[in-house]
Amino acid sequence: MKRIVVYTRAWRSGAGLYAQGLVEGLAATGCKVVFIAPAGYPEDPAAHLDNVRRVRPVRELVDGGSRPRRALFSFARVAGGLGALLAARFTSRRFIVSIPDPFVFAIWPLMLLRLTGTRIALVCHDPEPHSWSLSARWRWLERAGYRLIYDCASVIVVLSEAGRGPLVRLFGVPASKIVVSPHGAFEVPAAGPLPGSGTLLAFGTIRRNKQVALAMEAVIAAREAGCRVSMIVAGAKDPNDPTYLDECRAIAARCPDGLVMETGFITDERVNELLSACDALLMPYTDFNSQSGVAVLAGMAGRPVIAAPAGGIADLIAAGLAAVEIPTPVDRDGVTRSILAFYATPKAEWSDRAARGRVLLSQALAWPRIGRQLVELFD
């Protein structure tokens, strides 16, 4: 029986849920799994599986506490996680890494693992970073860090076909080293029939490439065209581009009746409430080459999307996600027309399409299927 070590620093939001689902999928194949990650929030379902050994480094502090205290907890998480990663080498030579630590910490243990004969499958969620951490002057250093991490991997797993190109183009990764495995389906309750509330939802970290500001402008334009529509923007600011949130707030202030912002971490309970209250998710993404956990979430909740076919979103639409496709190149007029087209279709028809899409996606994105695919990487 194979023993596979799964390591991630993520413990909440989509990246944390991905790791939990992946471990469940691997365990379903009969493999023994060592799962190294901080305790999941709000639940840690993988810990209850018979063939999973759970190793939990301390969580970092995300709310409250002084700066020195937050730094101490972050360092403790890094040290505990990477120490457990190296210790696991004595029990297995098969490793899956998803969302590693910053490269200045991660590169050394990954290099050591490779030097000792370990096969590492690196799950690359964002082949081209949504936003860079360093300024343009130091961008070369950040690129070099990514390249070193990718060099340590035996194989790189991307979550959509669109993820191959950036790895080859930006980081010189050989195409033969890249495999595609879809993002698994989140276990979320069905939100039920569309409420017909006239409410759209923009959900997730508020980043420029998600074109949140453009989506807000399009909602204003649709209202001016006579459509009774509003939108809730729910998510945290991009720590690498905090001023973008201010730009979005300025737009919301121009239309307080039609635009509502909920900023910060959104709990699972609130996510379910938002999905139940909305008619669709608005996603005019650009410069996007990864898979969208938000689109997966929408499909599994039984909600359609009004979305540009960027990155893995195109794969999801092909697999059955109910959608109005925003024409490309994405601009305000195209997004506005797509909103109007969505509301020109009866809500009962959208409810039926979204319910069918939920069934199709649950089959295409089943975690046991993904687990079998990744296990085969170690044959």
Domain ranges of the chain: 3-180, 199-364
Superfamily (CATH H level) for 3-180: Glycogen Phosphorylase B; (3.40.50.2000)
Give this prediction's pTM.
Answer: 0.87
- Residues, the chain: 379
Q: Which two tokens stand for residue 253?
A: 């202030």
The predicted pLDDT at position 379 comes to 85
Other CB atoms within 10 Å distance of the CB of residue 321: 27
Which of helix, strand or coil describes residue 121? strand
Q: What angle do CA 78, 82, 86 make, to 5 degrees?
A: 170
Q: Which residues in 174-318 belong to E strands, given as ranges?
A: 178-180, 199-203, 230-235, 259-263, 280-283, 305-307
CATH of 199-364, one of 3.40.50.2000, 3.90.79.10, 3.20.20.140, 3.40.190.10: 3.40.50.2000
Do 199-364 and 3-180 have the same topology in CATH? yes
Contact 225, 118 (CB under 8 A): no
The predicted pLDDT at position 354 comes to 97
Contact 108, 101 (CB under 8 A): no
- Among candidate residues 227, 214, 220, 184, the one with its CA nearest the CA of residue 307: 214
- Return per-residue pLDDT of the chain as tens, 379 residues: 789 999 999 988 888 889 999 999 999 999 999 999 998 887 888 888 989 999 999 988 877 778 888 888 888 999 999 999 999 999 999 999 999 988 889 999 999 999 999 999 999 998 877 777 888 888 889 889 999 999 999 999 999 998 999 999 989 999 999 999 999 998 888 999 999 999 999 999 999 999 999 999 999 999 999 999 999 999 999 988 989 999 999 999 999 999 999 999 888 899 999 999 999 999 999 988 888 999 999 999 999 999 999 989 999 999 999 999 999 999 999 999 999 999 999 999 999 999 999 999 999 999 999 999 999 999 8
